[in-house]
Structure 1
Amino acid sequence: MKSHLTSMRVTKMKPLTFVIGLTTAMALGTSLSATEDKIIESHGYSYFGNLDYPADYEHLNYVNPDAPKGGELSLAASGTFDSLNPYSRKGRSGALTTLQYDRLIESSDDSVGQYYGVLAESLEYDADRNYVIFHLRPEATFWDGTPVTAEDAVYSHRLFIEQGLPSYAQAVGRMVTGAEALDDHTVKFTFNPEVTRRSLIETVGATPVFSKAWFEADESRRLDEPRLEVAVGSGPYKLDSYDINRRIVYKRRDDYWGEDLPFNRGRNNFDTIRVEYFADQTAAFEGFKAGEYTFRIESDPKLWATGYDFPKLNEGVVVRDEIPDGSPPTPSGFVFNLGKPQFADKNLRKALALAFNFEWVNESLLFGLNSPRSSFTQGTKLEATGVPEGAELAFIETLGDVVPADFLTEPAVTVHESNSARLNDRRNLRQASKALDDAGWPVGDGNVRRNAEGETLKVNIPYPSNLPTSTATMIETYVQNLQSLGVDASAEKIDPAQYTLRSRERDYDMVYSTRYGSFLSTGGGLSQMYGSEEAAFSLFNPAGLASPLVDAIIEASFETDNQADQDTALVALDRALRYEFFVVPVGYIADYWTAYYDMYEYPENLPPFSLGHLDLWWINPEKEAELKATGALR
């Protein structure tokens, strides 16, 4: 999933890969087989049974299978880190620590909801998905040379249930009733018959697998605690070195057991991946120009428009490249904390949204490079338009009393338009002022809005100090417009570690966030982000959205048994999320903005849902040697 929390430049993310398909596996002639007892055996998994790659596939279609190995990918990160455990509930973990862990199955980047074996060479499950059995590859080993066993997979699953993030642990704990190692290389998961059949197999299959022996060798080792000791993994890269708040270096394993797997052929091409840490985005950009790192994904429209005019770029040493991104955009924006009593009234939230002038921000701060976004599935066939009709209307009418009357008669909510020539669009501010009056928050003493109890209409927006200037300015100007309405509004610039803590504890009135995900299919992840059950604590639901309407649509989407009905339900979900109005949308960019020293190359046909710079790109050794010979590269 691609997002830049520290930037206004809102990229599009890989849609949530729960499940997707077109028809049954037998109709497509895939490699699935079923016995008389309806036990399905396969080299991969998708909910509807379709797999684009047959059992004997040689490599993924979007890789260069002959990509040379070698060299270094060096990247930048801003802020700090105090842990090398990516799954801790506390602290700030270092970048890319998950590179070190394999999974039983992994999703391909040219489809949604298709998974293929990595640690598992095959899987089998009954047609009703009451269980799944994974058959592990006997050649799979951790980097300490010990074999990856079914017991390791069971232990890792239980770690996430007992010590993982509460939203994940609770959701998966409801799904899975049993996990057992049938032998050294066979693991079985049994599922709760009372829950949806969606997201079961891919959830347990995509859990990272750790070494049980490593954890049990020291009882102080926990999944939920920050630490600078790395849990033993079986992945292609291993931590080589680190310097707190300065850099992290990962080295490709010479003895990686899975290098020749069809899923991995043409991937994991760099000998080392280095991450350099900088105090903020400005320092990071200067570091790139100086050659302290060599690959950059730009996230600041101002820099993209004006900053890429320096000698190395003009001399051709650095390449500036816009690469198409096929994913729907991240549904990012200013998120209301719905746990705050002042935001209980949706009409008040809509009034406050009118103070955000996207058109001015785009023209004045972002050089016109962003496009407006209304939908959670923007630009796809799942985007709701107009009033409900046809199959969507019929679906909504089956939901019963949870459907508000105006939901059936009003068009899908779209973003308001503002005057780009001036920040304080007077027409919108007048409309907002009247709506706030009607909502019971008139202007009182000190020109500040208060309710009948004398409480001020408070809106505090914390943001991390390593945000790009354009993003910070966007937040500050939004606050400025809120203040002009008499709102007790403030923006609070804090250090990244404090921001992380406050985000986890939901200690904010409003926050600029990219945590919500777009979707092209259904599954349990929708409940974690948009459902009521984990709304009080889910890190993936920063608004704390708890809507009976949204819940009913998500639950109904789980019950669909064909692509057309699933799509209809998800159009209705997009409509409902917009109806609930818990995010003030900001814009997005349709492409990946990349800049890199002219030695990196990538496949001709990159996958639609990933830039793939970590695992699909490679270094041209002749170009690298030339850069070093001329002194352009250290």
Structure 2
Amino acid sequence: MKTILFASLLTVFSVLAPLHQAHAQDGDKPVITPAPTVAVDEADLAPLTTRSHGISLYGDLKYGPDFHHFDYVNPDAPKGGTLVQSSIVAFDTLNPFTLKGNPAAGLGLIYDSLMVSSADEPYAMYGLIAHSIEVPDDRSYAIFHLDPRARFQDGSDITAEDVVFSYEVLVEKGSPVYRQYFSQIEGAEVIDELTVKFTFKPGNNRETPMTVAGISIMPKKFWEGKDFAKTTFEIPVGSGAYKVASIEAGRRITYERVKDYWAADLPVNRGQNNFNTIRYDTYLDMEVQRQAFLAGEYMIRSEHSSRDWNTAYNTPAVQRGDIQKEFMPDHLPTGMQAYVLNARNPLFADKRVRRALQYGLDFQWLNRAMFYGAYHRTDSFFANSELAATGIPTGAELALLEPYRDQLPERLFTEPYKLPNFDAPNGRREALRESMTLLNEAGWEVRDKVLVNKETGQPFRFELIIRQPGLEKIALVVKSRLKQLGVEMDIRLIDTGQWVNRIQAFDFEVTTHWWTQSLTPGNEQRVFWSSEAADQPGSRNFAGIKDPVVDAMIENVASADSWEELVAATHALDRVLLWGNYVIPQWYLGGDRMVWWNIFGRPDTVPLKGMSIMRWWIDPEKATKLQMGGF
């Protein structure tokens, strides 16, 4: 999954939404089968396995077993101060792992995993709670050896039983996303107090050991007697570098660094977790949120509006250098930001209809008139990377697609996928003509300037739900373009909490969404596009894709044995998704627009996966000058 570059952004497993007063709930104990203790002779395993301090998806590890710190951190970064960030919505739970409730921002800070990814390798992980991993050549299982020093925040030992509990409770009581993401895991078992074995289902499991290595580890004892599936304001006991210090319902959550954190000086942590306190303040309006930043109420933000990036920061603080403003480019896959057409709705079940609606987005005009020319058109589900399909399929990619030729559009094999370009000669006229032809073929016709179903006379009308006021102006442009097809689009602005609940339940016709991607796509593609995920509320298959060819392409991606195979498989998946016309692609920036108050120090080296605020630190001299940061 894509690494999120700044801690204030969302992860694939957590979504922010409104806060409603709640209380810790006691109830039935989660139904978790106790993990059996299995006697295993390690001598029998040794000839079959390789034991290492880390694991890489492809190729060798960059860092050896005795490395001191990652190259992209300052191992001597000073500790101290307070980092204040913002959240756009409130929260009603401190459990980020379930579908119920809206978790507080930053809860990932309180949990560690067995291993942790490096930011300057495409996909490699190094020991944290587990000091080493043991896998056979076929990666049919993984054995993790826990660090005997590992402790939870209450001082209790982290044991293999806690690891097994964490996996099983996520699968049985957590969000349905986990069941899909961990679908290749057969089971987990305790070998001894500090050794745990995960067995994988038959097939190519190259990525699965790393999937397991990323599980957040929770104390079994804390959750005994509690219903894991319910929302709660009871402060959880975690395994990470920070713990919840306080919450103010509807306003903020504060974390403090664990003073006796056992892993503070491990190589994977040196130079990171540099703030004594991290606080998230809640703002329910984006303009208020921006103004609060300019007033110094919080310290760093990512700006998503081209207009505001160009106009809202012409302030004395910026001119003095008190606020720093920088565009940070990257070469990471940006994924797909798009208007999502819910194919579960009969209105969008026909791919010809979905293709015709792409006429409604005049990207070239929008980019000139509203975006200051800042964006690129998203023409791939893996845009901004070599994983994006281009041209026509050849070589290894063609070999993957060939067995499904009779289930795919013939044009997929003979021409590149192209979106309407209204700036091309006669581009608007040709796009309109093609769209009307497709709609007629699909059973629709224009009567009195209204597109209606030929048989029933039903008008073609749908609702677009959005959660940001800034998106309404863009939607109005789309609405006017679709009007030329006889299509009526209603625009409804709703709050983020309602939006989250509706899309998780697939209760929408059209909305906007951004699927982020990583340098090494894998198991998460099942959550995004698989037929199984289409029927599972809480999955990220918002488009309702149910296509056996897509399912087959996903398996090719997940089972790729080399970088070359992964690229070919991802190209094939990308191409099949594009020709399915499930979305109206929007645009991407190719980096982050960041603004921050000038109180920070940061490492000189920018790694492959970009900057992270958790590698920055507060400079006492700068903070004192601006009277910010707790110094």
Q: Does the TM-score normalized on the shorter chain lie above 0.5?
A: yes
Secondary structure in structure 2 of the residue aligned to 1:476: helix
Instruction: Look up the match of 2:50.
Output: 40
1:164 maps to 2:170? no
Partners of 1:280 and 1:36 in 2: CA distance: 58
Instruction: Look up the match of 1:110.
Output: 120
The one-character-per-residue Cα deviations of 1:461-513 (angstroms, maximum 9, x if unpaired) are: 1112xx152x2321232123223422131111112221111011111111100
C-alpha distance 44-378 of structure 1, shift in aligned 2 (>3 A)? same
The alpha carbon displacement at 1:547 in A equals 1.8
Instruction: Look up the match of 2:337.
Output: 332
Q: Is the 8 A contact 1:12 1:328 kept in 2?
A: no
The alpha carbon displacement at 1:573 in A equals 1.7
Alignment of 1:544-623 (within 5 A): 544-613=544-613, 615-623=614-622
Instruction: Look up the match of 1:440.
Output: 443
1:414 maps to 2:414? no
Partners of 1:128 and 1:327 in 2: CA distance: 29
Instruction: Look up the match of 2:458.
Output: 455
1:497 maps to 2:497? yes
Instruction: Please list every run of 5 or more consecutive structure 2 residues that lacks an aligned counterpart in the other structure.
Output: 13-43
Worse-superposed segment, 521-530 or 287-296: 521-530
1:528 maps to 2:533? no
Q: Is the 8 A contact 2:82 2:629 kept in 1?
A: no
Partners of 2:557 and 2:624 in 1: CA distance: 54
Q: Is the 8 A contact 1:374 1:585 kept in 2?
A: yes
Instruction: Look up the match of 1:21.
Output: none
C-alpha distance 357-13 of structure 1, shift in aligned 2 (>3 A)? farther
The one-character-per-residue Cα deviations of 1:284-341 (angstroms, maximum 9, x if unpaired) are: 1110111111111111111101111112112221111222223121311101111111
C-alpha distance 257-191 of structure 1, shift in aligned 2 (>3 A)? same
Partners of 2:283 and 2:192 in 1: CA distance: 48
Partners of 1:525 and 1:591 in 2: CA distance: 22
Partners of 1:398 and 1:453 in 2: CA distance: 38
Secondary structure in structure 2 of the residue aligned to 1:485: coil
Q: Is the 8 A contact 1:300 1:468 kept in 2?
A: no
Q: Is the 8 A contact 2:332 2:385 kept in 1?
A: no
Partners of 1:147 and 1:510 in 2: CA distance: 48
The alpha carbon displacement at 1:426 in A equals 5.8
Partners of 1:495 and 1:35 in 2: CA distance: 54
Paired residue type of 1:625: T
Secondary structure in structure 1 of the residue aligned to 2:533: coil
C-alpha distance 453-506 of structure 1, shift in aligned 2 (>3 A)? same
Q: Is the 8 A contact 2:78 2:617 kept in 1?
A: yes
Partners of 2:480 and 2:4 in 1: CA distance: 27
1:205 maps to 2:213? yes
C-alpha distance 301-240 of structure 1, shift in aligned 2 (>3 A)? same
C-alpha distance 447-39 of structure 1, shift in aligned 2 (>3 A)? closer
Instruction: Look up the match of 1:190.
Output: 199
The one-character-per-residue Cα deviations of 1:40-82 (angstroms, maximum 9, x if unpaired) are: 1011112345211111111111111111111122111112222
Worse-superposed segment, 134-143 or 525-534: 525-534
Partners of 1:409 and 1:490 in 2: CA distance: 37
Partners of 1:617 and 1:632 in 2: CA distance: 13
Alignment of 1:137-156 (within 5 A): 137-156=147-166
Instruction: Look up the match of 1:54.
Output: 64
Instruction: Look up the match of 2:223.
Output: 215
Partners of 1:36 and 1:237 in 2: CA distance: 37
Paired residue type of 1:70: G
Q: Is the 8 A contact 1:459 1:489 kept in 2?
A: yes
C-alpha distance 402-439 of structure 1, shift in aligned 2 (>3 A)? closer
The alpha carbon displacement at 1:563 in A equals 2.5
C-alpha distance 427-572 of structure 1, shift in aligned 2 (>3 A)? closer
Q: Is the 8 A contact 1:126 1:132 kept in 2?
A: yes
Partners of 1:447 and 1:398 in 2: CA distance: 42
Paired residue type of 1:57: F
The alpha carbon displacement at 1:279 in A equals 1.6
User: Match for 2:144 among 134, 141, 144?
Assistant: 134
Partners of 1:130 and 1:557 in 2: CA distance: 18
- TM-score, structure 1 as length reference: 0.88
Paired residue type of 2:250: N
Instruction: Look up the match of 1:31.
Output: none
Instruction: Look up the match of 1:313.
Output: 318
Partners of 1:296 and 1:137 in 2: CA distance: 36
Secondary structure in structure 1 of the residue aligned to 2:578: helix
C-alpha distance 3-536 of structure 1, shift in aligned 2 (>3 A)? farther
Instruction: Look up the match of 1:73.
Output: 83
Q: Is the 8 A contact 1:373 1:415 kept in 2?
A: no
Instruction: Look up the match of 1:229.
Output: 234
The alpha carbon displacement at 1:440 in A equals 1.5
Q: Is the 8 A contact 2:359 2:482 kept in 1?
A: no
The alpha carbon displacement at 1:600 in A equals 1.0
Secondary structure in structure 2 of the residue aligned to 1:158: helix
Partners of 1:245 and 1:312 in 2: CA distance: 29
Instruction: Look up the match of 1:122.
Output: 132
Worse-superposed segment, 426-435 or 376-385: 426-435
Worse-superposed segment, 131-140 or 451-460: 451-460
Partners of 2:342 and 2:549 in 1: CA distance: 19
Partners of 1:446 and 1:402 in 2: CA distance: 35
Partners of 2:557 and 2:328 in 1: CA distance: 33
The one-character-per-residue Cα deviations of 1:212-239 (angstroms, maximum 9, x if unpaired) are: 11101xx2331x3221123211101111
Q: Is the 8 A contact 1:328 1:380 kept in 2?
A: yes
RMSD: 2.7
Q: Is the 8 A contact 1:461 1:490 kept in 2?
A: yes
Partners of 2:285 and 2:279 in 1: CA distance: 18
The alpha carbon displacement at 1:204 in A equals 1.6
Q: Is the 8 A contact 1:12 1:325 kept in 2?
A: no
Number of aligned residue pairs: give it: 596
User: Match for 2:272 among 267, 278, 284?
Assistant: 267
